[in-house]
């Protein structure tokens, strides 16, 4: 049985297969590949694109989706083994996951990082709880560690624009925000771009390092794909000549000792038309959305010639449809 809670579930070979089918299916009529299939979606956190795109995947494919919001019409869930459950969490994942698996054909979970510790977040306890106790394929709609569907949609957008991503210079740049955000999206862009053979440049201020295990995994994927990963603290240097600029806010490294307020210390890291001017002439701009205009990214970029953010969001639909097919056909 296949799962898709992180890139290691499909690897370089699966990535190429999923992207190829996503691009192929986008060109034609919607296949009815999901007749009689039910996707159960469990949300611990809000969503717009993810929820709407997965519901559309199931409807267009002839199947259906069940949406459950934990703590909002659904009991709060416990994930700690051996817990004495006398708090506000009324149900354990040990029951919730296998029970839901009896009703549906696939189980999708969204659970953001708690943010207290990079190490704890990377252990991904809630997502792994569902994965361990589910008896049907489980997929991530963003967990503490990764957001694999976003990474797939990002790479699909680059492939559509440039044909190949082998050796493509792409920049993942940190962006300012009003609060520290999880690292799942930058992790997944980094890992997926590395697996797709890109020349990945990661730029962020001091103290916003990504987690070491993720960086090591990205280096290993780049080695296998013929790509590369480099780190810098100079945003302009990273952007120079890049054909993709990917802006994303994330919180400080918990190992670095920085406080959450540090996210507001670098307003000059906003992604601006000036920064885009340093990139390649045919460079595109990407962001996973939602984006805080004029905080993370200037209006001039989002409303300018570079932006592919709406196409990128549309591609969530296409890669997810292909990913669901990949999960079910095993």
Q: Is 178 in the site for a copy of itself (CB under 8 A)?
A: yes
Taking the least distance from each CB to a copy of itself, the nearer of 20 and 103 is 103
The correct pick among 17, 23, 26, 56 for binding a copy of itself (CB under 8 A) is: 56
Q: Is 75 in the site for a copy of itself (CB under 8 A)?
A: yes
* Cβ contact 325:33 at 8 Å: yes
Closest approach, Cβ 19 to a copy of itself, in A, equals 18
Closest approach, Cβ 45 to a copy of itself, in A, equals 9
Q: Alpha-carbon distance 128 to 125, whole Å?
A: 5
Instruction: Specify whether the backbone of 249 is left (phi greater than 0), alpha (psi in -120 to 50) or beta.
Output: beta
Count CA atoms closer than 13 A to 147's CA, side-chain side: 24
Q: Is 289 in the site for a copy of itself (CB under 8 A)?
A: yes
The correct pick among 14, 98, 125, 273 for binding a copy of itself (CB under 8 A) is: 98
Cis peptide before 223 (omega within 30 of 0): no
Q: Alpha-carbon distance 230 to 225, whole Å?
A: 15
The correct pick among 12, 23, 66, 220 for binding a copy of itself (CB under 8 A) is: 66
Q: Is 295 in the site for a copy of itself (CB under 8 A)?
A: yes
Q: Is 260 in the site for a copy of itself (CB under 8 A)?
A: no
Taking the least distance from each CB to a copy of itself, the nearer of 261 and 303 is 303
Closest approach, Cβ 286 to a copy of itself, in A, equals 13
Q: Is 132 in the site for a copy of itself (CB under 8 A)?
A: no
Closest approach, Cβ 178 to a copy of itself, in A, equals 5
Instruction: Specify whether the backbone of 219 is left (phi greater than 0), alpha (psi in -120 to 50) or beta.
Output: alpha
Residues contacting residue 123 through CB under 8 Å, at least 6 positions apart: 144
The correct pick among 86, 268, 282, 329 for binding a copy of itself (CB under 8 A) is: 86
Provide the H-helix boundaries in 109-261. 118-123, 125-133, 148-162, 184-195, 212-225, 235-239
260: which 2 tokens?
């959450």
């Amino acid at each position: 049985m296949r799962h898709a809670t992180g890139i290691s579930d499909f690897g370089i070979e699966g990535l190429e297969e999923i992207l190829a089918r996503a691009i192929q299916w986008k060109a034609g009529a919607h296949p009815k590949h999901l007749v009689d299939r039910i996707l159960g979606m469990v949300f611990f956190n809000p969503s717009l694109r993810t929820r709407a795109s997965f519901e559309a995947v199931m409807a267009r494919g002839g199947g259906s989706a069940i949406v459950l919001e934990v703590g909002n019409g659904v009991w709060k869930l416990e994930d700690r083994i051996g817990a004495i459950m006398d708090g506000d969490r009324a149900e354990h994942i040990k029951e919730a996951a296998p029970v839901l698996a009896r009703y549906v054909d696939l189980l999708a979970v969204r659970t953001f990082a708690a943010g207290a510790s990079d190490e704890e977040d990377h252990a991904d306890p809630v997502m792994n709880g569902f994965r361990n106790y589910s008896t049907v394929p489980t997929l991530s709609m963003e967990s503490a560690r990764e957001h694999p569907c976003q990474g797939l949609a990002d790479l699909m957008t680059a492939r559509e624009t440039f044909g190949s991503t082998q050796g493509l210079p792409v920049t993942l740049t940190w962006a300012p925000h009003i609060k520290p955000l999880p690292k799942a999206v930058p992790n997944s862009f980094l890992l997926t771009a590395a697996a797709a053979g890109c020349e990945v440049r990661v730029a962020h201020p001091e103290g916003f390092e990504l987690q070491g295990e993720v960086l090591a995994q990205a280096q290993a994927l780049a080695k296998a794909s013929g790509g590369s990963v480099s780190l810098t603290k100079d945003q302009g240097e990273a952007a120079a000549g890049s054909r993709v600029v990917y802006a994303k806010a994330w919180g400080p490294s918990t190992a670095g000792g920085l406080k959450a307020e540090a996210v507001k210390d670098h307003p000059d890291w906003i992604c601006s038309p000036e920064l885009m001017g340093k990139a390649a002439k045919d460079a595109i701009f990407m962001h996973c959305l939602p984006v805080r205009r004029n905080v993370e990214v200037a209006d001039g970029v989002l409303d300018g010639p570079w932006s592919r953010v709406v196409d990128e969001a549309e591609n969530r639909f296409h890669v997810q449809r292909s990913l669901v097919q990949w999960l079910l056909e095993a």
